[in-house]
Chains A and B, each alone.
Chain A
Amino acid sequence: MKKWRFSLFNALNYAFLTLFGLSMIYPFIYILVYSLNDGKDSMMGALYFLPRKFTLENYAQVFENHLIWQAYKITILRTLIGVVLHVTLCTMMAYALSKKTLPGRTFFTFYIFLPTIFGAGFIPYFITLQKLHLINSFWVYVIPLLFNFMHIVIIRTFLQGIPEELEESARIDGYGDFQIFLRIVLPLSGPVLATISLFIGVTHWNDWFSGAYYVSNKELLPVQTLLQQMLTEMEALSSSMQRAAQQGGQTVNVSMAGATPESLRMALLVITVFPILCVYPFLQRYFVKGVMLGSVKG
């Protein structure tokens, strides 16, 4: 009797978690299918797991678009520059704050902690960006994201775990402070730097807000902002086209083929999401640790 109850629980649990897992991945499979299917054909609906009329036309057209190329370039550029600078600067700060002998250590820790309790809010921040002439500049993507309190704490906690003796013996060997940082500390910090790179990299890659509200020059918009601008335009457009297709599609011209705004948007979505999907499973064990380190202190 008891045994049976146990396995019922298990069966339900496995079934539920399987459905749950599918609900997490299916939307991505669906857009992939949609983007690989002929646009006009997709409008008929009933497209679920496999492309019905396979084509690469959507991707070809997306890559022909100058604005999309430009946006993709901006996204990649800001992510690369942003990650390198963020990780370098946060690690330097964290290294200094990890030294218990540093005079003023408590003060500086509090100095960077205080703004996390009470922020100024959006408007004073926005005015500050204006005053710093960051509005409508590429650097509005990079500079405001150079530091992050939680990231500094995570790196600092990690660095404190490196045995003091290592640095001491290096000092005896005649290493200077900077050499110790470069040759002892950095090489040992791989895991934590990978975690922080992923966190900040995703933030950069996904940021649409800065592009939408701080930048008006079309040549400077990142991909995410482009997608955001399509949200409202597309909805009206695609639903009216779709309605037309559903009502008349089956009877009218069956050979009708080609890309639609919606199929192009799905192709753009896939090339936006794809890089992240490729990277994150490999970094998973690192970021789980990162969450732990952050929570212990936070």
Chain B
Amino acid sequence: MNETLLWKRIWRHKLLYLFMLPGIVWFFLFSYVPLYGIQVAFRDFTFSGGFTGSPWAGMKYFQQFFDYYQSSALIRNTIIISALKLLIGFAMPILLAILLNEVRQLKFKKTVQTLSYLPYFVSWVVVVTLMQRLLTPYGGPVNDLLTSIGLLKEPIQFLNNTTWFYQIIVGSDIWKNIGWNSIIYMAAMAGIDQQLYEAAKIDGAGRFRQIWHVTLPGIRNIAVILFILATGSLMSAGYEQLLLLNGPATAAIGSVLDVHVIGAGISQGRLSYAAAVGLFQSVIALVLILTVNRIARKVSDVSLF
């Protein structure tokens, strides 16, 4: 009886299942088949053998990675770059949101906001092309500006220069994403009860104390959640940006795991090895996000899951 009822319900929704069918197939092909394919990291992959037909290799490729003389440099570079991006890139959108929140002139606020989203909508290729043009020491506007106001004696080669590499990486990352990432904080601030500000004013709080005691607590929860999510990417430094910005001149401090995986896998065809490095990366990322989530739950009562 129950069973026929269920079948009836399913039959009644047949159109909805039909609607879901393409999605079910797609997620199977593009998400679950690759998950199943992780095993190539433990096999000597050959194209004809495929995911399951290639012979087992055990931990050979993981061993190969850790024996590679640059593996510790790769891990170190990845962590340095992503940690810098995480710490600075995380704080900047909050700062921008706070400053915008203090602006009373709505038209001005709206204009700055609109401009700030702009770089998010162009590709990394465009951003790097812009940087090449603007930062060139041969008549680029940035060097011209800095020398004309006396900050520099002579033009600097900003790109492909180890001295400036981290500044360029973090700076361009912030430039591209700051506006977009501030949207969520702006929204959280819009939801703060205005009476709290009034009350703080009556208690004699100035601008800064209002920000400290009202604005910041108002965005605390969303900030913690976003921080937990961001730590999940500590093992990946952003492959698009680094593929484009890292060159031979900066390889010593700019080679990272993401790019190594793509280079070894596609350019050199060492698919099993690259899969092993990638898997190592994903597992660490998963452990990180679970750990930070647990710490956040203990310290602040806010957590993802």
Residues of A near any B CB (own CB < 8 A): 2, 5-6, 9-10, 13-14, 16-18, 20-21, 23-25, 27-28, 30-31, 34, 43-48, 89-90, 92-93, 95-97, 99, 101-104, 108, 111-112, 114-115, 117-128, 130-132, 143-144, 146-147, 152, 177-178, 181, 202, 205-209, 213, 224-225, 227-228, 230-232, 234-235, 238-239, 242-243, 246, 262, 265-266, 269, 272-273, 276-277, 280-281, 284, 288, 291-292, 295
A127 touching B271 in the complex, CB below 8 Å, given contacts A103-B6, A224-B123, A242-B136: yes
Q: Which residues of B contact A232 (CB under 8 A)?
A: 247
Who on chain A is nearest to B226 by CB? A295
A101 touching B20 in the complex, CB below 8 Å, given contacts A115-B31, A224-B125: no
Say whether B179 faces chain A, with CB atoms less than 8 Å apart: yes
Say whether B262 faces chain A, with CB atoms less than 8 Å apart: yes
Q: How far is the CA of A103 from the CA of B20 in the complex (A)?
A: 13
Number of interface residues of B (CB under 8 A): 87
Q: Which residues of A contact B125 (CB under 8 A)?
A: 206, 208, 224-225, 227-228, 231
A121 touching B38 in the complex, CB below 8 Å, given contacts A21-B111, A30-B134, A231-B128: yes
Who on chain B is nearest to A23 by CB? B175
A93 touching B19 in the complex, CB below 8 Å, given contacts A121-B261, A123-B40, A124-B40: yes
The answer, among B30, B129, B139, B183, for a CB contact under 8 Å with A242, is: B139
B72-114 interface code vs A (CB 8 A; 1 in, 0 out): 0000000000000000000000001001101101001001101
Q: How far is the CA of A183 from the CA of B6 in the complex (A)?
A: 29
Q: How far is the CA of A270 from the CA of B27 in the complex (A)?
A: 36
Q: How far is the CA of A269 from the CA of B40 in the complex (A)?
A: 40
- Could you give 20 example pairs across A and B, Cβ below 8 Å? A6-B207, A27-B130, A27-B133, A31-B130, A101-B9, A114-B31, A120-B37, A120-B282, A124-B40, A124-B275, A127-B40, A202-B121, A208-B125, A227-B126, A227-B129, A242-B138, A262-B133, A276-B122, A280-B118, A288-B183
- B10 with A103: CB separation less than 8 A: yes
The answer, among B23, B29, B35, B100, for a CB contact under 8 Å with A93, is: B23
B12-50 interface code vs A (CB 8 A; 1 in, 0 out): 010111011011101101111111111011000101001
Say whether B238 faces chain A, with CB atoms less than 8 Å apart: no
Q: Which residues of A contact B116 (CB under 8 A)?
A: 20-21, 24
The answer, among B27, B40, B112, B244, for a CB contact under 8 Å with A147, is: B27
- A2 with B206: CB separation less than 8 A: yes
Q: Which residues of A contact B207 (CB under 8 A)?
A: 5-6, 9
Q: Tell me the minimal C-beta distance from A3 to chain B in angstroms.
A: 11
- A277 with B118: CB separation less than 8 A: yes
- B266 with A213: CB separation less than 8 A: yes
Q: Tell me the minimal C-beta distance from B165 to chain A in angstroms.
A: 15
Who on chain B is nearest to A279 by CB? B121
Q: Which residues of A contact B133 (CB under 8 A)?
A: 27, 30-31, 34, 262, 266
A102 touching B13 in the complex, CB below 8 Å, given contacts A132-B29, A146-B26: yes
B173-187 interface code vs A (CB 8 A; 1 in, 0 out): 001000100011001
Q: Which residues of A contact B136 (CB under 8 A)?
A: 238-239, 242
The answer, among A44, A96, A99, for a CB contact under 8 Å with B139, is: A44
